[in-house]
Structure 1
Amino acid sequence: MKISDVRLTVVGIPRHTGFVSKHAIVELFTDEGITGIGEMSDFSHLPQFSLDVNDLTAVLKTILLGKNPFDISLINKQLLSNFPEMMFYYEKGNFIRNGVDAALHDVCGKAWNTSVADFIGGRIKDKIKVCYPIFRHRFMEEVQENLAVVRTRFAQGFDTFRLYVGKNLDADEAFLDAVRQEFGSKVTIKSLDFSHLLDWKEAWRATKRLSQYDFELIESPAIQNDFDGLRHFRLKVDHPVSEHVWSFRQQYEMIRHDSVDIFNISPIFIGGLTAARKVAAAAEVAGKGCLLGTTQELSIGTAAMAHLGASLSNLNFTSDPTGPELYVSDVVKNPVNYENGYLLVPGRETPGLGMELDWESIEKYRVPDLSWGNISVHRLQDRTAQTKA
């Protein structure tokens, strides 16, 4: 089997908050009539530069055409040479490699008539506990808006939430207090997510203030790649500390500095399922926990994470992939399913990732490119249509 063609299709799909995220759908065609699909998820994030889709397609064709899709390790090595790790959280090269790698796994699973979870080692679980994100408060009036989100999602079966914090601690505290008063032990706050917005000392002071409320762990409480700061923070708090992995060098430094308790693993940030499995293995060797992170993918990217999580023996914390629930639509006929706060892994009866493209929806949301337009940094950080300064 050989890869015969590559196609990228860009869609811009609004979130329920009003923010429009752009994604590139990857299709790898083969000479045996099997087509694999992947997703370069959520390009609408910092840093604020865009890619030329036609140029990117041409580059990928030079790498992929004529290759055997089962040569996943070799192809990933070539992709890494062309789109190297840059030690940055939202590195676009990682997004590109992730989309291609997912499509390769989809091809291979379809060719063998097996699911990706079984293809990469066998599924240990059929569902993954997840949390719903509550986006960052900048203004006190957003507390009631976010409390309404908790009510709505709790009624749908989500009982665990991740709170982005650090911009308005008065509002953060008011929200946590309101959740405790209204829901008590029925709702769990999985984490306080600082998203690298504060240095470790500021994050520590904020954590001390918010520690009167129950939460399970703390995420990204230092500036990116501040491994010493992460370690200082970790030694001062009682809660486990989690950080995303966006390069192998960065993971090495976090292990060397003993900076974290939990590695937040997401194929989009490390460059694909192949790389994510290596990160999970390194975490297991280092005695660290794991959870699945997210940039809020559509169903293709979320399905890839579900297959990954289903095959990991050290996925031992509540994970984050609830992206499809945040958007007004999707690009597949059979979106991933959630049940009582769990992401259901696509079944064994659907080979590959288990996703089928919905071209009617794709055409509705198709956009010509990945360009930016007039988007403020605040909107990019908060993923909302917020226009207040």
Structure 2
Amino acid sequence: MKITDIELHAVGVPRHTGFVNKHVIVRIHSDEGTVGIGEMSDFSHLPRYSIDLNDLGKGLKSVLVGKDPFNLMKINQDLLDNFPEAMYYYEKGSFIRNGIDNALHDLCAKYLNVSVSDLLGGRVRDKLKVCYPIFRHRFMEEVEENMDVVRKRYEQGFDVFRLYAGKNLDADEAFLAKVKEEFGSRVKIKSYDFSHLLNWKDALRAVKRLSRYDLGLEMIESPAPRNDFEGLYQIRLKTDYPISEHVWSFKQQHEMIKKDAVDIFNISPIFIGGLTSAKKAAYAAEVVNKECVLGTTQELSIGTAAMAHLGCSLTNIHYTSDPTGPELYTGDVVKNKIIYKDGYLHAPDKSIKGLGVEIDDVLLEKYRVPDLSWGEVTVHQLQDRTSDSKE
């Protein structure tokens, strides 16, 4: 089997907050007639530059057309040569590699008449416990807005939440107090995610302040600036909670291992460049006896399906994971949206081959956008995914 063509389709899908995220839907065609689909998720994030989709398509065709899609390792190396790691976890090159690698896995699995999880080594589970994100408080009036999110999502079956913290600690504290008063032990806050906004000393002070409202806290996420391995190590020594950090390059993961800087590696295909690389990162964590959590940039159903296959095939995930993207958007581009039930992400039925989701061309046209350009947005909007900066 040989790759014959690549299609890239830019879409803009609104979140419930009103913020429109742009993604690229990938189709890879083969001379056998089998087509693989993938997703380059969430180009609407920092760093603030966009990709020329026409130029990207031509470049990818020059790399991929004529290749055997089963040569996953060689193709991933070629992609890495063309779109290299940059030690930044929202690096656009990782998004590009991820979408292509997803589609290659879908293509190969469909050709073999198996699911992607079979291609990854088989499942050890069929569902993953996940949390719903509570986005960062910048103003006190957002506390009640986020309480409404908890109430609504709790009714839908989500009982674990992740708090993006550290921008307004008074509001964070008020929110946690209200959650504890209203829900008690029925709701769990699995992590405080500081998203590299604080240095480790400020993050430690924030943890001490917020931990009095401990609602089943599982971990502290990203409590130091990006690539501050010493800071991660210092805060890990000084708190009883496990420290988690995203993996966005193998060099960065190596430095975290060498420094013994984290307890839990946050692994997501979008940040490390695809299922092939994410599996390698998870295996590296297992070798050094570290746990993993499945992270997210909040993908649509295609990207989330790939993550579900990965997460259900890994043996070192024992914490609540993060992928709830399809629940954050008002729409999607597939016929069979990924399923959440009782706070779990369910992997697609193994009887549906490949990733287990199918593009709906009507929806693809509905959400199609001409390019990945930015428009007028602020840094706060890009960080917090709101339609209004309130400033």
Match of 1:60 in 2: 60
Match of 1:186 in 2: 186
For residues 188 and 363 of structure 2, what CA distance do their matches in structure 1 show?
A: 35
Match of 1:381 in 2: 383
* Kept after mapping to 1: 8 A contact 2:125/2:312: yes
Deviation track 1:149-186 (CA, whole Å, cap 9, x = no partner) reads 00000000000000000100000000000000000000
Match of 1:201 in 2: 201
Displaced runs of 4+ in structure 1, greater than 4 A? none
For residues 89 and 240 of structure 2, what CA distance do their matches in structure 1 show?
A: 26
Give 1:213 deviation, angstroms: 1.3
State the one-letter code of the partner of 2:137.
H
1:46 aligns with 2:46: yes
Match of 2:246 in 1: 244
Match of 1:125 in 2: 125
Give 1:386 deviation, angstroms: 2.4
Match of 1:106 in 2: 106
Give 1:348 deviation, angstroms: 1.1
* Kept after mapping to 1: 8 A contact 2:2/2:68: yes
For residues 107 and 91 of structure 1, what CA distance do their matches in structure 2 show?
A: 25
1:301 counterpart (300, 303, 307)? 303
State the one-letter code of the partner of 1:266.
S
Match of 2:333 in 1: 331
Give 1:105 deviation, angstroms: 0.1
Give 1:96 deviation, angstroms: 0.2
- SS of alignment partner, residue 170 of structure 1: helix
Give 1:388 deviation, angstroms: 1.1
State the one-letter code of the partner of 1:329.
G
For residues 101 and 86 of structure 2, what CA distance do their matches in structure 1 show?
A: 18
State the one-letter code of the partner of 1:167.
K
State the one-letter code of the partner of 1:79.
L
Consecutive unaligned residues in structure 1, runs of 5 or more: none
Give 1:374 deviation, angstroms: 0.8
State the one-letter code of the partner of 2:348.
P
For 1:97-176, what aligned pairs fall within 5 Å after superposition? Answer: 97-176=97-176
Deviation track 1:23-62 (CA, whole Å, cap 9, x = no partner) reads 0001000111100000000000000000100000000000
Indicate the larger mover: 199-208 or 182-191.
Answer: 199-208
1:94 aligns with 2:58: no
State the one-letter code of the partner of 1:269.
F
For residues 377 and 292 of structure 1, what CA distance do their matches in structure 2 show?
A: 26
For residues 178 and 118 of structure 1, what CA distance do their matches in structure 2 show?
A: 44
State the one-letter code of the partner of 1:280.
A
Give 1:120 deviation, angstroms: 1.1
Give 1:362 deviation, angstroms: 1.0
For residues 377 and 263 of structure 1, what CA distance do their matches in structure 2 show?
A: 27
1:365 counterpart (367, 372, 381)? 367
TM-score, normalisation: structure 2: 0.99
For residues 189 and 252 of structure 1, what CA distance do their matches in structure 2 show?
A: 29
Give 1:347 deviation, angstroms: 1.2
- SS of alignment partner, residue 213 of structure 2: coil
**Over aligned residues, Cα RMSD in angstroms?**
0.5
For residues 108 and 71 of structure 1, what CA distance do their matches in structure 2 show?
A: 10
- SS of alignment partner, residue 76 of structure 2: helix
* Kept after mapping to 1: 8 A contact 2:218/2:319: no
* Kept after mapping to 1: 8 A contact 2:301/2:326: yes
For residues 199 and 46 of structure 2, what CA distance do their matches in structure 1 show?
A: 19
Give 1:355 deviation, angstroms: 1.0
Match of 2:315 in 1: 313
For residues 365 and 300 of structure 1, what CA distance do their matches in structure 2 show?
A: 15
For residues 205 and 294 of structure 2, what CA distance do their matches in structure 1 show?
A: 27
Q: How many positions carry a matched residue from both structures?
A: 389
Identity between Structure 1 and Structure 2 (%): 68
Indicate the larger mover: 290-299 or 379-388.
Answer: 379-388
- SS of alignment partner, residue 212 of structure 1: helix
